[in-house]
Amino acid sequence: MSAPVFLVTGATGQLGGAVVEQLGGRGDRLLLVARDKDRLADLEAEFGAEGRLETLAADVSDPEEARRAAAEAVGRFGRLDGLVHLVGGFRAGPLFLTGPDVYEQMLRDNFLSAVTATQGVLPHLGEGARLVYFGTPLAEVPLPGLSAYAAAKAALVTWVKSVAHELKRKGIHANAVVMTMADTPDKRRERPHMNFDHTVTPELVARVVGFLTGPGSDGLYGCAVPVLGRFEFTSELGGPPPGVGGPR
């Protein structure tokens, strides 16, 4: 059987390189899709290999572009076995300073792009296909100033659970990775004084993507798999954790 083919959307984002290394390293064939042509060219230079790892400039939040990307994957590789949807966006701010346009943008980036990308690939998928999306623990425990982002991610995770019930009848697996902030060089430059102990490395997330796109996840439909590293919500009511000023 030939190696599976995955459409990786938003491939120029913070997880793109690690996901490409994980899936490409085991022999999967990938079409890497993003809007940023310059960063896409960097991926092409680093990972590109004709017939195995190729790139395409497209905006999958546009339904026509999403259909084109899926058709390109089939045209280049002869089949399509799934979608790893890395597209997303982040905005923070208090409610009274956050206009409706920000809420709309967060919904487009984090939720509606997943809908259009999935609708683009579905006609090409068969038994055993994999769909992977990315959520956040803030969807369940939203923090102040993150209402637009948290609401959009909550919509995404709820949608994944719903469509998983539809698609499992066709043997298609739809699941989400729930992750906290990725520990990347860009994030460390942006936040030099932040404690990165509660972040998670892109490589750890990519391993779970590998699991969700492989046979080990045959029994999973509509799951939200947490990859949180040492992240935790804290409260002054609970006091410090054991061993860190708290009980031994």
Consecutive sets of 10 residues in the chain, 248 residues long: mean pLDDT of each? Answer: 92 93 95 93 85 94 97 97 95 84 94 98 97 92 87 96 96 94 79 80 95 96 91 68 59
Are the C-beta atoms of 131 and 167 separated by less than 8 Å?
yes
Check residue 180 and give its pLDDT: 82
pLDDT at site 191: 81
Close Cβ partners of 88 (under 8 Å, ≥ 6 residues apart): 10, 13, 109, 110, 113, 134
What is the model's pLDDT at position 238? 59
Residue-level pLDDT at 231: 77
| Under 8 Å between Cβ of 138 and 186 | no
pTM more than 0.85: yes
Q: In the structure encoding, which two tokens stand for residue 170, read together?
A: 């066709």
User: Residue 140: its pLDDT value, please?
Assistant: 86
Residue pair 148/98 in contact (Cβ under 8 Å)? The answer is: yes
pLDDT score recorded for residue 237: 60
Amino acid found at 160: V
Owner of token pair 């982040």:
90
Packing angle, helices 147-167 and 100-107, rounded to 10:
30
Right CATH for 5-227 from 3.40.50.720, 3.40.50.1820, 1.10.3720.10, 3.30.360.10: 3.40.50.720
Cα-to-chain-centroid distance, residue 207: 13
Going 147 to 108 to 227 to 37, the CA torsion angle's sign is negative
